Structures are given as C-alpha cells and as structure tokens.
Structure 1
Amino acid sequence: MSADLSNWQWRAPPDLKPTAGRYVKTEPAQFPDAATELFPVLCSEGDADLWTYIPLGPFETAESFGETMRFVTGQQNWQTHMFRDAATNAPLGMASYMRIRPEAGSVEVGCIVLSKKLQRTAAATEAMYLMARHVFDDLGYRRYEWKCNNDNAASRRAALRLGFTFEGVFRQDMVMKGRNRDTAWYSMLDSEWPAVKAAFESWLASDNFDGGGQQRRSLADIRAAI
C-alpha cells in the first residue's frame, strides 16, 4: 500500500531570492533586463551549441533573447535564476524551476544554460546543489525532476552524477526544432536528499580539491560511500 499522506499540505512555490555558496551565487533573473548581462556569455559567437537541446534559441540579439525569455517565463510560470561568480559577480549562466506543482510537492529544474566558463567546474555543481537545497530544505518538496532530450548524452550523465535516478523514456514526446524528441526522465526524492546533500557538501569542501583545483574524490564515489 502506498504511503499515508492524509496530513499532506500544499507547499509554497520556489522563492525568487538570492542564495550564495563558496563558488557561485544565484539570483532571480528578471527578463528582459537580465538578457543584457547573460547574452554576452550565452549567445556570443561559438555559443550556438549551448542551445542545441534547449527548446529556445540560439539568439542573435540581446533584445530577442530578453523578450523571448520574458514571454516564456511568464506564460509557463518558470522561475529563472542567474548564476554569478561568487568572487567577481560575473554572470555565468541560468536555470529555471519549471513544472511547479505545489499540490504534489514537485518541481523540475530545466532550461539549464551554462556558459563555457562555468561548465565542468565546482561552481556549476554548487549551482545545482543550491537549487536542490532550496527545493528540499526550504520548501519541503517531495520530488525534484530533471528531464532532457534522450539524445543529450551530456545532460543524461549530469543527471546521474548529481544524484538523480533514471525513470525511463517518453518516446516521441515532442517535436523540437523540427526534430523528434524522446524525453528521458530523472527524479530525486525527499527520502534520497539527505545522502545526496551530504555528498554534495563533502565534494564541495575545500579539502576535496588539491592545489591545482582538481578533485580528490568524485561526487559519485562520495555518494556511494554514504
């Protein structure tokens, strides 16, 4: 028999408030204004590949970027956050809370666009940690979702590395940019979060990196040992 949730109460939606970690800060991205800072790091020459698996973009002007994001975030009720370097305040990327379902305690993180400077860094991992921590620790949600194009091998690897569990593939789920999209689904549950959180915090600790900034233990290895 399924769990008794007779005392369940709707949760609040994710907050649009700044958070800060050791490497990165997050803050609400209010479009179209946020496009002024994000366009140069996400839409410059050579950045088109950042948008391959995103339903939007790439964009040729900051104006088109800002207006498209303003329309979509408003229509779809996304809550988009900008990532900044904690030391320099430079903009580094963005991600959105999507499919917000307070009645079920469930939310998706998506439209993740990380600048090439942010990719494969401790700051990128910390940004995902901060967003997950808000969902579980601050809001008490039951489920955190990650969905991606099944052709996007990098996103599928990232989901597993971050502690999400693969749930399956919705075949022929969308038509996106003139091509079929099969959607891979991943989730993280509140019962799993304590171990995932502990692994994040151990991995992000300064003593997990050598003098050259290389990790001593991988996130997956730390999580497996918990």
Structure 2
Amino acid sequence: SLSLASSFALNTSGSSFEGHPSYDPSSVWGFLPLSGGPFPTPSALHGSPLFSTSPSQCVIMCLDSVTRKCVGAIKLTEDDPANLSVRLEYSIWTPTYQGKQQEVEAGYLALGKIFGMGYRRVSFDCDVDDSEGRKMAGRLRFALEGERMKDVLIEVDEDTVVSRNSYSFALLNSDWNGEGGARDHVFEKIYGRRALKIDKGRRKEDDEDDNELKIKKEREKEEEKEGGDVPALQTEELKKKN
C-alpha cells in the first residue's frame, strides 16, 4: 500500500530517519539499478518495478513489529509451478536492518513457506561486487553454483551502458529440510540452540502423528477392500456380528 511505501521510500532515500544519520543511498540501491531506487516520493516507489508484479511474481513487505513501518522488501519472480521452482529477485532493507536478525528471519519465513508448498528450488543472482547480496545468500545457506560473465547490461545513463557479471546461487528442498539441514542452521542462528532443540522435538511429534494417521488410512483401505463397497465402519459391524 501507499502507506507502507511512504516509510520505506523515506528510510531508503539516504536522508536521516529515526536517529539514523544521512547516508549514501547506493548502499541500499547501488546493485539494484533495474529497481529504480532511490525514490524521491512514496508514489514513485509504489509505481516502480519493485512493486510491479505479474502472476508469476510477488512482493513481501517486512514490517517492524513495534513501529509497524516497512523496513524491508523481498521480491519473488519466475514462479514455475510446473517445475516447482522460483527466483528470489532481491531482498532490500533499510540500513538499520541490513544483515540483522530481522533480515535473516524474513528470509527464513519466506523460504519455509516456499518449501512447505512443495517447491524444490529457489535461485538467487547478484552482482559479483555486491557483498551484501553474497552475505545474505550465505546467511540463508544458498549454495554458489557459479559465475556468469557478461550476464546483464545495465544502462547507467543515456550515454553509458555497463556489463554485469553475476554470481548464481540456489537452495534446494533437499538441502533445506532434514536433520542438520539449512533450515536447522538458520533457525538456530535466529532463535538459539535451545529453541532449535524444542523445535526438533515438536517436529518429531508431528512426524509421529503423521505416521500414525498414514497407518490408520492404510488400515481403513484394507478394510474397505475386504468388505467390497461396504464402508469401513459397516465392515467392522459386520465382523462383530459374525
């Protein structure tokens, strides 16, 4: 919404805000030339490529739990349900939150939702000189797949076009899930070792409940087969009578 864009535009413009001194906005937008930032007004941000989405894209706005102001944005693109893959286009944060727990937690929650929906692969690219992008990928346990030379042409101004080399990262569901996987690593980093131990216990209980439910359903199927088209409950009653 425009109200969310208002705080985000101000806090990423380079101007001082909430006790934070003025700064070079390129620290936020320097490696995101196609996003259009920094933005002079909230309406400019609201109508920018950052918020422009298609059916295969979405933007996740991240709010401070106390102030309720927008402090970060995650954009997902290239949603491919047929192949169960999606791209993390960029993760943008105000200087106060760059590299902090909130950034990691937002990425963790987004990835958990994606893999929980059955997706197998999340990809992410960044400029080879983008240290914050590389750090973000590392915090979320993305694996470096390689470097693509002359990957993107970026128009700096009417007379200048530069070529970007990109690092390609990916995170797979098989790397995210499982004992000691990326999920556990990121969870512990955010919430601590004790919380991870509790979380593992809860997940184990959930797995046991799921297994019991699976066994119950298989048993009901077998009972239905034994009784032909007779429902399972009626089959049990017939067995008792006999």
- Could you state the TM-score of these two structures normalised by the residue count of structure 2? 0.66
Once the two structures are TM-superposed, the CA of residue 161 in structure 1 deviates from its matched residue by 2.9
For the residue of structure 2 that corresponds to 1:170, the secondary structure is strand
Could you say which structure has the higher helix fraction? 2
Letter in 1 for 2:153: V
Q: Are 1:120 and 2:90 matched, yes or no?
A: no
Paired positions, count: 177
User: CA 1:207–1:74 in 2, change beyond 3 Å: closer, same or farther?
Assistant: closer
Q: Determine what percentage of the aligned residue pairs are the same residue.
A: 22
Q: 1:71-220 counterparts in 2 under 5 A? A: 73-75=52-54, 77-137=56-116, 139-176=117-154, 177=156, 178-194=161-177, 195-205=181-191
Letter in 2 for 1:97: L
Distance 1:99 1:153 in 2: 24
- Could you state the TM-score of these two structures normalised by the residue count of structure 1? 0.71
Structure having the higher Rg: 2
User: CA 1:81–1:44 in 2, change beyond 3 Å: closer, same or farther?
Assistant: same
For structure 1, the residue ranges without an aligned partner over 5 or more in a row are 1-29, 209-226
For the residue of structure 2 that corresponds to 1:132, the secondary structure is helix
For the residue of structure 1 that corresponds to 2:146, the secondary structure is strand
Once the two structures are TM-superposed, the CA of residue 88 in structure 1 deviates from its matched residue by 3.2
For the residue of structure 1 that corresponds to 2:76, the secondary structure is strand
Kindly indicate whether the alpha-carbon contact (under 8 Å) linking 1:110 and 1:146 is maintained by their aligned counterparts in 2.
yes
Backbone CA RMSD of aligned residues: 2.2
Kindly indicate whether the alpha-carbon contact (under 8 Å) linking 2:63 and 2:69 is maintained by their aligned counterparts in 1.
yes
Distance 2:138 2:41 in 1: 34
For the residue of structure 1 that corresponds to 2:52, the secondary structure is helix
1:156-194 Cα deviation digits (max 9, x unpaired)? 232123200101112111112332111211000010012
Q: 1:37-48 counterparts in 2 under 5 A? A: 37-45=7-15, 46-48=23-25
For the residue of structure 2 that corresponds to 1:191, the secondary structure is helix
Larger CA deviation: 51-60 vs 153-162: 153-162
Distance 1:82 1:33 in 2: 12
Letter in 1 for 2:144: F
For structure 2, the residue ranges without an aligned partner over 5 or more in a row are 16-22, 195-242
Corresponding position of 1:52: 30
For the residue of structure 1 that corresponds to 2:95, the secondary structure is coil
Kindly indicate whether the alpha-carbon contact (under 8 Å) linking 2:13 and 2:38 is maintained by their aligned counterparts in 1.
yes
Kindly indicate whether the alpha-carbon contact (under 8 Å) linking 2:5 and 2:70 is maintained by their aligned counterparts in 1.
no
Corresponding position of 2:223: none
Kindly indicate whether the alpha-carbon contact (under 8 Å) linking 2:56 and 2:80 is maintained by their aligned counterparts in 1.
no
Letter in 1 for 2:67: T
Q: Which has the higher contact order (CA 8 A, sep 6+)?
A: 1
Kindly indicate whether the alpha-carbon contact (under 8 Å) linking 1:41 and 1:93 is maintained by their aligned counterparts in 2.
no
Letter in 2 for 1:52: G
Kindly indicate whether the alpha-carbon contact (under 8 Å) linking 2:139 and 2:186 is maintained by their aligned counterparts in 1.
no
Letter in 2 for 1:182: N
